[in-house]
Amino acid sequence: MDEKTKIQATGGGKLATQAGARRGRAVGIAFMLSSAASTQTGAAAGTLAFPSMGPMGVVAVRQLVSAVVLFALARPNFRRMKGREWWPVVGLALTFGVMNLTLYSAVERIGLGLAVTLEFLGPLAVAVCASRRVLDIVCALAAGVGVVVLTNPGPTSDIPGISLGLVSAGAWAAYILLNRTVGQRLPGLSGTSAASILSALLWGPIAAIWFITHPPSYPALGLALACGVLASAVPYVADIITLRRVPAVLFGTFMSINPVWAAAAGWVMLGQALSVQELTGMGVIVFSNVVVSRSADPPGKGSMSRDGDTPAPNSR
C-alpha cells in the first residue's frame, strides 16, 4: 500500500469514527430527553398517590415495579458476578431508594420548587467536576441558574426539608457515577437489573409493614404502579444506555431538562399558564443544553475501558 493510500485509509477511518461518535451522542441525547419526559410523567402520578400512600409507600412500589420490569428484560447471574462488579451494583441499589425517598420527603416539607433546585445540585456538581473546558462549566452553571429561575424556590426555615433535598442531590450524583460504572463493568441491562432486584429485596419488608399499617386505595396503588414504570424502570434503562454514549459533563448538564419537562407537562396536561420568568428559565436551560451538546467531546474521549480501571486506547 503506497503512502497516499495509507493517508486516505487513515482519513476514512477517522471520519467513520467521528460519524459513529456523533450518532452515539445523538442516540444518548434522545434517550436523555425520553428519560426526563418519562420521569416527570411518572413523578406526577406518584405525587397524586401521596395522600393515600405517602412518599414511603410510593417509593416502595416504585422499587418493586422496576425490579419486576427489569428482571423481565435482563436476568442477572449473581453467582458469576465478581467483587469489582458487586460493589457498584450494591451501591446503586442503595442509591435508588435514598434518591427517591429523600426527594419526595423534601417536596412534602419545602415544596417542589426548592426541592428540585436543591436536588439539581447533584448532577450540577458532576458536570462541573467532569468538565475539562471553561465552556462546559459555564453551560452547567447557566443551566443551574435556569433551574432556579424556572422553579422560583421560596425561602424556608425548614432545616430537615433542606437537608433532605441536599441528601437527594448527593444521591443523584452517586446515581450518575455508579450507573456509569455499572454500565462499564456489566453487559447490557444486567447491572441495572441486579441493582433493582437488590433494592426491591431491601424495600420488600418495608413495603409489607407500611401497607399493613397504611392500606392504600386502589386508585392510589394504580398511580404508584404507573410511577414505578415511568419514573423508575424506563429512566433506569434509558440512563444506563445514555451513560455508555455521552460524557458525564453532558449527562449532568442535561439533567436540568427535567424541570422544563415538568413545567411543559403542567402547561399541556393541566392547563397551568407559564409566566415570563418561567419561560425565561426554560430558555436558559434549553440554550445551555444545546451549547454543551454541540460542543461535547465524542464519547470515546476520556472514557473508560470496559473494566473501568484503565483508560481506553483513545483516552486523553
Domain-embedded: residue 144: yes
C-alpha pair distances (Å), 115 with each of 103, 153, 164, 178, 259: 7, 8, 8, 23, 11
Q: Which residue has the higher pLDDT, 19 or 179?
A: 179
Instruction: Tabulate helix, strand, coil % of the chain (nearest 5).
Output: 80, 0, 20
Domain-embedded: residue 15: no
**pTM attached to this predicted model:** 0.78
> pLDDT band at 309, cuts 50/70/90?
very low
pLDDT tens per residue across span 211-230: 998 898 999 999 999 999 99
Q: What are phi and psi of 178, to 5 degrees?
A: -70, -40
The pLDDT, as a whole number, for residue 65 is: 93
> Per the structure block, which three cell numbers stand in for 302?
476520556
Domain count, the chain: 1
Mean of the per-residue pLDDT values of the chain: 81
Q: Residue 26 CB: number of other CB atoms within 10 A?
A: 13
pLDDT tens per residue across span 8-41: 545 555 555 566 567 777 888 889 888 888 988 8
Domain-embedded: residue 309: no
Residue 282: domain span: 29-295
The mean pLDDT of 110-137, rounded to a whole number, is: 82
Domain-embedded: residue 10: no
* Distance separating alpha carbons of residues 302 and 292, to the nearest angstrom: 16
The pLDDT, as a whole number, for residue 315 is: 33
Domain-embedded: residue 13: no
The mean pLDDT of 237-263, rounded to a whole number, is: 83
Domain-embedded: residue 258: yes
Single-letter amino acid, residue 290: V
The pLDDT, as a whole number, for residue 199 is: 94
Domain-embedded: residue 146: yes
The pLDDT, as a whole number, for residue 230 is: 92
Contact 255, 120 (CB under 8 A): yes
> pLDDT band at 197, cuts 50/70/90?
very high
* Distance separating alpha carbons of residues 171 and 193, to the nearest angstrom: 19
Domain-embedded: residue 307: no
